[in-house]
Amino acid sequence: MRFEREKVQAVIARYSEDISWLAELDCPSVVYNKGTGPVEGAVVLPNIGRESHTYLTHIVRNYPDFPEFVVFLQGSPFFHMEEGADCRTLNALIAEHVERRVPFKGFAWFRMVCDRLGRPHQMADPSKKGRWPGWGKDIPVGKVFERMFGQAAPERFIASAATGLFIVRRDRILVRPLSFYENGLSIIESDPLDAENTGHAFERLWQIVFNGSSNLNPS
């Protein structure tokens, strides 16, 4: 099934990944390129704030003109999906959730529970030492939550889109005002190199961002 732009659009946060798989994707896409080397038709962004910066930039720039569903993906999404996943797997997931009109769904193979500091996490993985300034630090999930929502953070968070791969229905985006997303973007931009792991924190908060409810219980 091939979706039109008015129905489904994919937003791709690319750094250096091979995105040739997009040729097989069953919906139109917009690529935001933060890496080296030109990508035809891509929107060029500064390399700051991880994919969280890309996603919030897209929302702020396009608000309120979204298709019925928006799919947010990293440039290489299949690593965090079920074993053996490829673009056919992704197409099937998109079609299933569009048909069921699911308001929000993470595409990673797992969910995770973390505390206000994002624990447990792998920020001190020796193999990743030096890759970004925030290596070895905790993730300020609680702090970012409080800056986004203006209330005390809960003790734990159940993250259903921890890898930044998810589909969200238009009405779940629009239930929050543009100013809400502008605030989120400013929070990301205040930590451009992810020295405090702010971008990582958003990976654990997307399901709350898009729950559109006055009841912000993350469970």
Place of tokens 């003790």: 155
Neighbours of 194 (CB within 10 A): 22
Is there a contact between 13 and 54 (Cβ–Cβ < 8 Å)?
Answer: yes
pLDDT band at 215 (very low <50, low <70, confident <90, very high): very low
**CA dist., res. 55 & res. 212, Å (int):** 17
| pLDDT confidence of residue 3 | 96
According to DSSP, the residues that pair with 11 across neighbouring strands are 30, 72
- The enclosing domain of 175 has a CATH number of 3.90.550
Give the model confidence (pLDDT) of 151-181 as tens digits: 999 999 999 998 999 999 999 999 999 999 9
Place of tokens 């990976």: 203
Is there a contact between 218 and 157 (Cβ–Cβ < 8 Å)?
Answer: yes
In a domain, 34, yes or no: yes
In a domain, 1, yes or no: no
DSSP state, 47? S
pLDDT band at 219 (very low <50, low <70, confident <90, very high): very low
In a domain, 122, yes or no: yes
pLDDT band at 192 (very low <50, low <70, confident <90, very high): very high
Domain containing 153 equals 8-209
Beta strand pairing call for 69-74 and 8-14: parallel
31-40, 114-123, 132-141, 176-185: segment of lowest average pLDDT? 31-40
In a domain, 219, yes or no: no
Residue 219: its H or E element = none
What would the two tokens of residue 73 be?
Answer: 């993906």
**CA dist., res. 199 & res. 197, Å (int):** 5
Is there a contact between 144 and 157 (Cβ–Cβ < 8 Å)?
Answer: no
In a domain, 218, yes or no: no
In a domain, 3, yes or no: no
Domain total in the chain = 1
| pLDDT confidence of residue 213 | 58
Calculate the CA dihedral of residues 8, 34, 110, 150 and round it to 10 degrees.
-90
Locate all alpha helices (DSSP H) within the chain, ordered by sequence.
50-62, 87-99, 141-149, 170-174, 178-189, 198-203, 206-209
In a domain, 2, yes or no: no
0.85 surpassed by pTM: yes
Among residues 73, 15, 16, which one has the least CA distance to residue 47? 15
